[in-house]
Amino acid sequence: MSIKSSRDIVVPVLVLVGIGLLMVYSSTALMSTKKYGSSFHYLWNHLFTVFAGLITMFVLAKVDYRKFRPLVIVFLVFSLILLVLVFVPGIGLSANGASRWIRLWPNTFQPSELVKITLVIFLAEYMSKNIHRMKDFRHGILIPAGVMLLFQFIIILQPDFGAVMSIGILTTGLLILGGARLRYIWGGALLSLPLLYLLVFSVPYRKRRIMAFLDPWQDPFESGFQLVQSFIAFGRGSVFGVGIGGSKQKLFFLPEVHTDFIFSLIGEEIGLIGVLAVVGLFVWLFIKGVMIANRAADPFSYYLAFGLTLMISCQALINFSVTTGLMPTKGLPLPFISYGGSALLNNMAAMGILINISRRNGQIPFASTHHPFHIEGGDSERSMYGSRRARMKYRYEYCDSRWRDRRTSLPRYSGCKGT
């Protein structure tokens, strides 16, 4: 089952990366020729990132992800330092009024992308350790939300409003999954509305994006230009597309066509068929990610698998929504497809960890005499935990009622801590 689960993740990821290579070359060939004298400049950079991403994915698929647990604080501090470094002259790189990148040959690195996967690992470890206290306001909301707000505060100074929103959605989703009280979450959301309003409408370009989202045709040559051109791209593609390389919108009509709006190029050149294929691949990854999470051997693995799945799925859904006019324009690339080193590396790393979890499903992570589920008289994991039904019964380290066998009403194990 673990081999099949790994294949179910690797194959769609490789297909999406392949589509990305094709679309990146199609969207940048002319721009690259005009700027660098070669149509392959952007493609070579992207290939370098893809190669690094594949190595990262396969390495993380082999390294035991449970070794990350004691390093959570190190990851948080390291991510925090990288976020601050973007403001240091000579290290940080600014573009279009934003300071979001660090200079790394041959590409740049965006620390806010690393923050997403760091927060997922932190929340998975935190919630697994505090599984019985997630209903408390202090443990269920105050501490995890405080960590999230610290990162969001630094990121909004860069500024990167899209990353702030995606981190907020990701953290909220995991806290709901972890059992935090919904009234605390809704209360926090309501309290954040005035701040959200201030962040959006006090900055002119964000306000223009909201107005363009509500009616892009009101100003089709300024604030609504990008969205209108995206609509035209989808309209030109129709069902079967205009063919690879046949796009007209990429000829300096549609801004950021190789990054944030590459999904529009797919719609124009491959048509509705290509759009449905890409959406279908992400839906497949989401379903398989949830299945891997549901087979996890302990709460940390469960939260980690679900968090990584949610991270990829939310970014893809937001990108789909932005390019089709269902959400205001945000600077979020399409996972595995858009040009850009940081996001691609981060997403490939996430898939490597997810593959790792799928391979280790069914293994009890702490098979020792100190484990709360240890049964005397057995040497192997199978003899220690008995039949498959017994292993499912005792699979979760903390014995909370939420971790019961999903098919039958099994009684709570009397040997658990705290019972």
The model's pLDDT over 234-269, given as tens digits with 9 standing for 90+, comes to 999 999 999 999 999 998 889 889 999 999 999 999
- Confidence class for position 362, pLDDT limits 50, 70, 90: low
**What pLDDT score does 314 carry?**
94
> What's the whole-model pTM score?
0.84
| Number of other residues whose CB lies within 10 A of the CB of residue 33 | 13
CB under 8 Å to 226, separation ≥6 — which residues? 212, 254, 255, 256, 261, 329
**What pLDDT score does 419 carry?**
35
Q: Examine the pLDDT at 291 and tell me if it is beyond 50.
A: yes
What's the pLDDT tens digit per position in 23-63? Answer: 999 999 989 998 898 899 999 999 999 999 999 999 999 99
Angle at 220 between CA 216 and CA 223, to 5 degrees: 70
What's the pLDDT tens digit per position in 306-355? Answer: 999 999 999 999 999 999 999 998 878 999 999 988 899 999 999 999 99
**What pLDDT score does 4 carry?**
65
Of 279, 220, 218, 226, the C-alpha closest to 249 is: 226
State the chain's mean pLDDT as an integer. 84
Cβ atoms of 121 and 75 within 8 Å: the answer is: yes
**What pLDDT score does 2 carry?**
55
**What pLDDT score does 317 carry?**
95
Q: Find the helix packing angle between 341-360 and 271-294, rounded to 10°.
A: 40
Q: Find the helix packing angle between 299-323 and 341-360, rounded to 10°.
A: 140
**What is the C-alpha to C-alpha distance for residues 226 and 270, in angstroms, rounded to an integer?**
20
279, amino acid identity: V
What's the pLDDT tens digit per position in 367-407? Answer: 333 333 333 333 333 333 334 444 444 444 444 444 434 33
Which sequence spans correspond to the domains of the chain? 2-360, 367-419
- Confidence class for position 361, pLDDT limits 50, 70, 90: confident
CB under 8 Å to 198, separation ≥6 — which residues? none
Average pLDDT over residues 215-229: 90
| Tokens 């839906």, located at residue | 283
CB under 8 Å to 307, separation ≥6 — which residues? 120, 123, 124, 170, 174
**What pLDDT score does 6 carry?**
82
**What pLDDT score does 5 carry?**
65
Q: Examine the pLDDT at 96 and tell me if it is beyond 90.
A: no
% of the chain with per-residue pLDDT over 90: 62
Average pLDDT over residues 144-157: 94
**What is the C-alpha to C-alpha distance for residues 176 and 129, in angstroms, rounded to an integer?**
16
